[in-house]
Amino acid sequence: MRELVSDEQVAAYREHGFVRVQGVLDRDQVEHFRGSAEAFLKAHRAESLETQGTFSQLVNVWQRDDDLRALTLDTRLGRIAEQLAGFPLRLWHDQMLVKEPHNNVATEFHQDRPYWPHAGDRLPLSAWIALVDVPPERGCMTFLPGTQDRTGLQPQDLHHEEDLFEMDPSLRWIPRVTVPLRAGDCTFHSGYTGHMALPNRTDLARLAHVVIYIDAATTYNGAPHVVTDPLGLAVGDRLDGDTFPRAWA
């Protein structure tokens, strides 16, 4: 297989727990998917899982919108994710995360993996794709480099600025890396890398499309989660099949 990201990018991801990949979408793709995302948001905003103003969160968009399905299951994106991870991946879920204009609310520091009902897995990762330019003042992400080895913490409240740091005070002193993105760029971050997103202080909505990839060997641990609750899974079942596709293989 042709290398999709450089050895340096793979090394940076493995060392820091995140990496920026510029230009994963070209200008035409950005315009197309931005239009699809705006239309989907307009129709479904009221279904947001998050209701405290941090962002509108629409989950498993790919199952309901053919255009955005093509983005979530994009072969190049999935192969980059596998190159970074170093092992076969499946889709866990996608989500549209939209910070409305002047929402003025940060997504506070947290790790993603503690929210998920997973077992038997190696390090999952998310692609956070900017569908508009996302400078710091529009709510770009900030990472805590090297924290992908901090496993074992309880789920953190992403509405609470201190929660992650109260759980592990040593994280407070790690230099923070803020990563602005142009439309069509993305960051990949691991499920344990501490991260936050700044508030949107601009007149334009911050549109991000997030694709979450998990180890293809991941099993269900029995905990409640909006994605697995309707599926009738038993503890130990593999998260595989059409619901968790490996479309890029």
Q: Which residues bind Ni ion (CB under 5 A)?
A: 112
- Please say which residue, 156 or 218, places its beta carbon nearer to ligand SIN: 156
Tell me which residues in 117-146 interact with ligand SIN (CB under 6 A). 126, 128
Of 48, 56, 83, 107, which lies in the binding site for ligand SIN, with binding defined by CB under 6 A? Answer: 107
Q: Which does 197 bind (CB under 5 to 8 A by kind): ligand SIN, Ni ion, none?
A: ligand SIN
- Please say which residue, 179 or 239, places its beta carbon nearer to ligand SIN: 179
Of 197, 205, 207, 211, which lies in the binding site for ligand SIN, with binding defined by CB under 6 A? Answer: 197
Angle CA 188–194–198, to nearest 5: 80
Minimum CB separation of residue 241 from ligand SIN in Å reads 25
- Please say which residue, 108 or 112, places its beta carbon nearer to Ni ion: 112
- Please say which residue, 124 or 184, places its beta carbon nearer to Ni ion: 124
- Please say which residue, 44 or 238, places its beta carbon nearer to ligand SIN: 44
Q: Is 55 in the site for ligand SIN (CB under 6 A)?
A: yes
Burial class (CB in 10 A: 0-12, 13-18, 19+), 44: middle
Q: Which does 72 bind (CB under 5 to 8 A by kind): Ni ion, ligand SIN, none?
A: none
Structure-token pair, residue 123: 């390090």
- Please say which residue, 36 or 107, places its beta carbon nearer to ligand SIN: 107
Of 208, 214, 216, 239, which lies in the binding site for ligand SIN, with binding defined by CB under 6 A? Answer: 208
Tell me which residues in 135-194 interact with ligand SIN (CB under 6 A). none
| Sites of contact with ligand SIN (CB under 6 A) | 55, 97, 107, 112, 126, 128, 195, 197, 208
